[in-house]
Structure 1
Amino acid sequence: MNRRRARVYAWALYDVGNSAFATVVMAGFFPVFFKEYWSGDLPATASTFWLGAANSVASLIILASAPLLGAMADGSAGRKRFLAVFAGLGVVATAALFAVPAGAWPVAATLYALAAIGFSGSMVFYDAMLLAVCRERHFDAVSALGYALGYLGGGLLFAFTVVMTLQPAWFGLADEATAVRWAFLLTALWWAAFTFPLLSRVPEPAPNLRGGGVVAGLGELGATLRRVGQLRPVVLFLAAYWFYIDGVDTIVRMALDFGLAIGLESSDLILALLLTQLVGFPAALVFGRLGTVLGPRRGIEIAIAVYLVVILWAVRMDSAAEFYALAAAVGLVQGGIQSLSRSLYARIIPRDRTAEFFGFYNMLGKFAAVLGPILMGGVGVATGSPRAGMAVVALLFLVGWLLLRRVDEGEARRRARALEGGNGFRGDGDGRPERGGERG
């Protein structure tokens, strides 16, 4: 394996680690355990509200800090260091869930919010490092590889923990609740283990020579905001992403809670989520190819159409079999819409400000997640119907699609290149500058 390929796989393996948190904790066991173990005395709609609130608080903190952190990291060659700090926060908070006793839902919600901050914060710098490991022509394939390995690795750990919770005696555990607590601890260890390849094998991209630190970061952030008017296509894309990724994140974080609220069994819901992971691995790779053939924007539009069908079906469903079918449909497009969004955005931003611009990217994605879960929970409480809360999510995909259609990728690329320090330098995928014309 040559050096460049080794870097690509070292980078992509971080997705194996953090995807375990997204799958085992965020989408899988935490919503079920929160509702049935930590907040079992609360009404179903109230526990849904507090779960949504925990997600929203974590997202608000990332919203407030991500662009500044990105600017600081760009100026000080600190992407890997910041990633390590946030990943460490997520690992520690996830491991601490093991010790939270039954009924202590405020403690569980707080630790979950801290873990979510670590997860989302680390992604700011992980996404930005895509440009440090490959050339532009490989963005779609490499971005898709990360998501595909994430589905595979996260799915393997999830499958193991599902068996552990269904048959705790096989593992010498007292009961299902004890097995779920061990699942949180195993996820923390898994996340930590798959962070080390990136930290040790992926080079730190060179700083943009404008300085690091909080003061310099604030200055760079202000300069970026002043240049927003010069990057109208990027603003349009970010607005579109804001809306449609809100729908994606809301479904990821609240689907199991929705299934429980309409009377489905938790065991069926967990197995359906495992099906999503199994389908998601090959589907993410296919979407990487689709982005290369049709273009990333067309691939995103296909995924949005599938999500709209899923939501309309979910509002009317009443059986576990239907939930399984919807889980498979989501698995077909979930990794694709995420990976193609990342690769499309990487194409249209200045390459010497990647962490800063990906700070905005993640900021808007998490700001959307502030609205989605709390909107779904709020509508459910107001109407007394979880189905009404799910129906609202369709509007987010529709608005995102309408905005995405207005993005001119060619114009965006020309404007971004004009802002790259005015010196014609490009990143070549290994943290060093490269001269030359625009690559296809």
Structure 2
Amino acid sequence: MDSAYAPQHRGSRVPVGLRAPFSGRTWRETLYLFLNLPMAMVMFTYTVTVVSLGAGLLVTFLGIPVLAAGLAGARGLGALERARARALLGLDVADPGPVRAAKPGLMGWVGAVLKSGASWRHVVYGLLHFPWGIFSFVCTLTFWTVGWALLSYPLWRWAFPAYVDQPGLQLWGDGQGHGAFLDGPAELAVTGGVGLLMVLAGPWVVRGLTQVDRVMVQGLLGPSTLATRVEELESDRGVVVDTAAADLRRIERDLHDGAQARLVALAMDLGLAREKLDEDPQAAAKMVDEAHGEVKIALQELRDLARGIHPAILTDRGLGPALSALAARCTVPVTVSVEAMRRPAAAIEGIAYFTASELLQNVSKHSCAGSATLDVWRSEDRLMVLVADDGRGGAHTGAGTGLAGLAERLAAVDGLLLVDSPDGGPTRITAELPWRG
């Protein structure tokens, strides 16, 4: 990435400060600021014209559709501004939500446009960006022009005695040929030094000016915070629904392939035993004993299934004892540390338990570790679950992995999954959950 503000490239002997005035990023941002003036003039003129025309025609029926059409046009200009920011500033701002009409037809669309907050934010942008566009254009043009002119002054000072009949650039004078001129070696050195400082400072001045544009584009031309949050919640709801459906399918599969199949076989064995009861009592008794063993296995499978849905120990005794029991079943020795704290909400407690369960399963199956630790504590309004092991590392949340699915499930409740697992280990995976007591 071409950046005047990125760390110095390995092997480059030119400091960042000296490279910055010639970097692609600096000149792209400079071009953006130069284009601010014409774009601001176009948007301001358009905004004032259509809003004034629409407001003036409100006394007639035409005012409302004209105003709505003007707002739609402002959204189109906003799309052009977002494209300009994306191309020159590298600022990728999502488009605001589309206009959704509650009623079909032209009037439904007109009402939706007029009620859209995004449409009116585009109008505000068109009004506010005009004075800022003038200011940023003038500042950028003046700073770069003066800086480069002073830096190169020793090279073009000869033009003054040759064409203007004065020894150099005049600082002040009385109009009669008396005054101070930049013509001596010291004056030339100072002038060039000031110009050099302005040129070297130029990229940072440009960057500061474009930061204001970034804020304006993101705040006024992008989706609102509320709309973004609604989209996140809709996405999270989809994840929760998919996860719940997958869990139901898993339970159904476990019941069908496990306990249900075993109970069907048990019913058949007991039926055979009843038929043999009169003919061969000893064989029937043996079959009943075998059926008794099958009953015990079926009960254990049902207990395991129930534990997978929501373990009783978690409900009765809390997170600490439940995690200790969970760690005891892990094939790798696990040291458990749970901070003494009041219990969170049952939903958060359950998510923390099943998160730890899945992480410990990964330790057992994939880590090749000799030992692991499980730590749970509360940090302000977050519940933290940390699973670490001394295995081979290489865990990641790439698409298609179990950790990717776990990260999605945590995000559905405003949680976060942080993975630190370099190749060769060790692995540290931290799950953050919102504390809800």
The TM tier, using the shorter chain, reads: under 0.3
More strand by share: 2
What is the TM-score of this pair, normalised by structure 2? 0.22
Higher relative contact order (CA 8 A, sep 6+): 1
If the length of structure 1 is used for normalisation, what is the TM-score? 0.22
Q: Which one has the largest radius of gyration?
A: 2
